[in-house]
Amino acid sequence: MTLRDRFVDARQHVQDALDAVSRIKKSEDRVVVKYRSKNQQLNFMCDAEALVGYGTLLDLCSEHTIVIGFPGSAMLECLLNDIRFFPFWDYRLHQQNRYFCMDAVQRLIDTVHVARSGGELYDNLVHQRVYKPGRSKTQLLHQNGIQLHRIVDEILTLNNKINT
């Protein structure tokens, strides 16, 4: 939240996403709004079918699903599973909030198309634009990732050597 991004603006953002979807959806398509919690649902109430759950997004998806949302964990989960995810977030409204790291935001928008408005979202949906040219899901996660227990082992071994 910033003074440019009030509650009413955030709610309008949800409605803008639904409007963009209604312009491209076919009659047989099912549109679901998935909320993380009941309180989130209360705050962003809309007319579409609603489901509430934490960490359950992938259970709702198949290879035909299109997901629209904030570029967070859900985006990574979907894109890594080849589910088309269209990030929708007006990051310009958050430039004055130190909580958001604008360097990280820049790296994100260098990698994927982040729609800032309903119009941009509609364009991305129609043209199926997810990744920026030359980018793919291989840029999303570290390719040389190490499991947590191995990282811990490395740190402890290193510090043990320093201390002895």
Binding site for another protein (CB under 8 A): 1-4, 6-8, 11, 39, 42-43, 55, 58, 61-63, 71-73, 75-77, 80-81, 83, 96-101, 103-105, 107-108, 111, 139-142, 144-149, 151-152, 154-156, 159
Residue 30 one-letter amino acid: R
Structure tokens at 67: 């997901």
Look-up of token digits 């939240």: 1
CB nearer to another protein: give 127 or 148: 148
Q: Contact at 8 Å (CB) between 32 and 49?
A: yes
Please, what is the minimum distance in Å from the beta carbon of residue 119 to another protein? 22
For residue 118, the tally of other CB atoms under 10 A from its CB is 19
Minimum CB distance to another protein, residue 36 (Å): 11
Shortest gap between Cβ of 117 and another protein (angstroms)? 18
- Report the distance separating Cα 99 and Cα 30, nearest Å: 35
Q: Using CA atoms, how far apart are residues 150 and 163, in angstroms rounded to an integer?
A: 20
Comparison of 23 and 107: residue with beta carbon closer to another protein: 107
